[in-house]
């Protein structure tokens, strides 16, 4: 069953379909910062994220007639940004090495852990930015963008277990970096 979403920007989207450049500017203004942040979390380089942002909006406006409203315009645009960001990394010959996933050797910390330490957002951001590309990409897609491991595996053309392994290793590296900072 298809689910229709109420998109608060439907009027702007309809105006864009009829070639209204002011509506395009308004949508750009509404979504540019959020979409830049999405790309930045994936590619981790400002100039590339800016280029991806511009290219994504151009693509979105050129393909606006394909937007069916099955999700919000923001979700549709985010998918374009994520795909362009990933394609950028692929062009740089990102290679994720297939690794085996061992449930017995990688553990998540349980919520409510009395030993939990709180970190400044900037410390966490810096630790994530320092990750190798593969780890950062999977961590960003899973933790920050909300994709599940099956979706990540499909997007990156890797196995689901590789996605899980990369994610868990990324979390471990972030924890290690944060511990070293305290």
Residue 109's pLDDT is 47
Q: For every residue of 114-175, which 3-state class applies, written as one string?
A: CCCCCCCHHHHHHHHHCCCHHHHHHHHHHHHCCCCHHHHHHHHCCCHHHHHHHHHHHHHHHH
Q: Which range (8-12, 104-108, 132-136, 161-165) has the least confidence?
A: 104-108
Give the pLDDT band of residue 102 (cuts 50, 70, 90). very low
Q: How confident is the model at residue 4 (pLDDT cuts 50, 70, 90)?
A: low
pLDDT at 21 over 70: yes
**How far is residue 175's CA from residue 127's CA, in Å, rounded to a whole number?**
8
Query: Tokens standing for 76?
Result: 């549709």
Mean pLDDT of the chain: 81
Rounded mean pLDDT, 159-167: 91
- Residues 143, 137: Cα–Cα separation, whole Å: 10
Helix (H, G, I), strand (E, B) or coil at 18: coil
Tens of pLDDT along 31-72? 999 999 999 988 888 999 999 999 999 999 999 999 988 888
Q: Which of 179, 175, 160 is nearest to 107 (CA)?
A: 175
Task: Give the whole-angstrom CA distance, residue 170 versus residue 99.
Answer: 13
pLDDT at 93: 56
**Of the spans 36-40, 129-133, 143-147, which averages the highest pLDDT?**
36-40
Model confidence at 107, in pLDDT bands (50, 70, 90)? Answer: very low
Neighbours of 67 (CB within 10 A): 17
Q: Quick count: other Cβ atoms within 10 Å of Cβ 55?
A: 16
Residue with structure tokens 């290690």? 176
> What is the tens place of the pLDDT at every residue in 65-97?
999 888 889 999 999 999 999 888 877 654 443
Q: Quote the pLDDT of residue 58.
A: 95
- Domains of the chain by range and CATH? 10-91 (1.10.1740.10), 121-181 (1.10.10.10)
Q: Is 139:173 a contact under the CB 8 Å cutoff?
A: no
40's enclosing H/E stretch is helix 21-43
Count CB neighbours of 134 within 10 A.
20
Average pLDDT over residues 97-115: 42
């Amino acid at each position: 069953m298809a689910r229709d979403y109420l998109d608060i920007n439907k009027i702007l989207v309809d105006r864009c379909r009829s070639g209204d450049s002011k509506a395009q500017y308004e949508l750009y203004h509404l979504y540019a910062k959020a979409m830049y942040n999405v790309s930045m979390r994936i590619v981790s380089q400002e100039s590339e994220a800016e280029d991806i942002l511009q290219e994504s909006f151009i693509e979105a406006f050129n393909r606006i007639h394909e937007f069916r409203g099955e999700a919000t315009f923001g979700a549709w645009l985010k998918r374009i940004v994520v795909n362009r960001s990933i394609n950028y990394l692929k062009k740089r010959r990102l290679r994720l090495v297939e690794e085996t996933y061992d449930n017995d050797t990688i553990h998540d910390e349980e919520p409510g852990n009395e030993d939990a330490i709180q970190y400044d957002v900037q410390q966490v951001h810096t630790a994530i930015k320092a990750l190798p590309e593969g780890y950062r990409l999977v961590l960003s897609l899973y933790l920050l963008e909300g994709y599940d491991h099956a979706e990540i595996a499909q997007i990156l053309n890797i196995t689901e277990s590789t996605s899980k392994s990369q994610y868990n290793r990324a979390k471990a590296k972030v924890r290690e970096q944060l511990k070293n900072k305290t």
